[in-house]
């Protein structure tokens, strides 16, 4: 596995791969790699000849009061994990390399600030869209792998790549969970033992929603009321949103029909957690 920190070096690597007719799969991450990330790397190996993983904690997608500074970083451990999973190139640019002095451009997918995480994280998805487009322009992949865990992010990135004719195929992989149901996330490391127990309310409420849908419930309000009860019983009081939407358009649904996304976000202690389930109704 080659570790590359410069844009020019990453470009040369990708150009050489392309010249040999190799297909490249790309997994962008913020590092602190866990089973969720590694599931994307495994899928990437099946989707292409070569796999590039990037590790970049993107300052553009953090709000001024968010956790950019304390976001967990562990490059040595990450490099070992990526190598073990068969990653071919690890791209680890510095903030300066990505955003040199004089940098001014942002990509915005219209409407993303009006739903779900967009409402409480202004500028977040334009930060995400911008960094992913930059990374795609450097890595030049055939296929991009994203996790369903960040459902809105996947919708925004897909839309952006399609709208800007990037010619990159997107594969969205299922959410990896801990044995007890908690969605694996780098931010879980912030949780105390008590918070970790309470955080389970999030996945429990989503699993309840899924059970209700399976037994025939179609009214969004009834499902959300059930979810609220589960969250409050678990001790999750600071709920940011509980929403039932069309999975592709992210428009709210009053009755569940078609490809449905049930999404939740809550603060447990100081940690903001998100989770979702996607259902074909
Ligand atoms: P992050 O490092 O949090 O920016 O995540 C990098 C990629 O890994 C994104 O596409 C995420 O959606 C994906 N990801 C994060 N957690 C999980 C998970 N538990 N299961 C599946 N994919 C995940």
For residue 207, what is the domain's CATH number? 3.30.1300.10
Please indicate whether residue 37 is annotated as part of the active site: yes
Judged by DSSP in three states, 243 sits in strand
pTM: 0.98
Give yes or no: residues 148 and 224 share one domain: no
Q: Rounded to the nearest whole angstrom, what is the distance from the C-alpha of residue 150 to the centroid of ligand 1?
A: 7
Q: How many domains does the chain have?
A: 2
Determine, yes or no, domain membership for 80: yes
58-73 pLDDT per residue, tens: 999 999 999 999 999 9
C-alpha of residue 108 to centroid of ligand 1, in Å: 21
Which stretches of the chain score pLDDT less than 50?
A: none
**Whether residues 127 and 251 fall in one domain:** no
Using the 3D structure, point to which of 108, 138, 173 is the last residue of a domain.
173
With H, G, I as helix, E, B as strand and everything else as coil, classify residue 174. coil
Around ligand 1, the residues with Cβ closer than 6 Å are 29-30, 36-37, 39-40, 146-147, 149-150, 173, 175-176, 183-186
pLDDT score of 56: 98
Please classify residue 235 by burial: count the beta carbons closer than 10 Å to its beta carbon, then call 0-12 exposed, 13-18 middle and 19+ buried: middle
| Boundaries of domain holding 246 | 186-276
Distance CA 44, CA 264 (A): 28
In a domain, 109, yes or no: yes
């Amino acid at each position: 596995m080659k570790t590359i920190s410069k844009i020019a070096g990453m470009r040369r690597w990708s150009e050489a791969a392309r010249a040999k007719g190799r297909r490249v799969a790309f997994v962008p991450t913020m590092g602190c790699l866990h089973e969720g990330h590694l599931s994307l790397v495994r899928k990437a190996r099946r989707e292409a000849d070569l796999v590039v993983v990037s590790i970049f904690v993107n300052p553009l997608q953090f709000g001024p009061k968010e956790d950019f500074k304390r976001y967990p970083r562990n490059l040595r451990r990450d490099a070992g994990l990526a190598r073990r999973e068969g990653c071919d190139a690890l791209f680890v640019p510095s903030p300066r390399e990505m955003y040199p002095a004089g940098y001014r451009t942002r990509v915005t997918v219209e409407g993303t600030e009006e739903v779900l995480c967009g409402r409480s994280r202004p500028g977040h998805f334009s930060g995400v869209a911008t960094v992913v487009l930059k990374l795609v322009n450097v890595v030049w992949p055939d296929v991009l792998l994203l996790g369903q865990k960040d459902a809105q992010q996947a919708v925004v990135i897909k839309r952006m790549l399609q709208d800007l004719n990037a010619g990159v195929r997107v594969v969205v992989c299922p959410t990896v969970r801990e044995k007890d149901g908690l969605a694996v996330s780098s931010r879980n490391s912030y949780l105390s033992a008590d918070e970790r127990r309470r955080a389970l309310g999030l996945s429990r409420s989503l699993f309840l929603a899924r059970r209700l849908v399976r037994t025939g419930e179609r009214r969004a309000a009834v499902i959300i009321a059930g979810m609220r009860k589960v969250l409050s019983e678990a001790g999750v009081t600071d709920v940011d949103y509980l929403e039932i939407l069309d999975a592709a358009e992210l428009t709210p649904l009053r009755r569940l029909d078609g490809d449905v996304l049930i999404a939740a976000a809550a603060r447990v202690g100081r940690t903001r957690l998100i989770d979702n389930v996607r259902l074909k109704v």
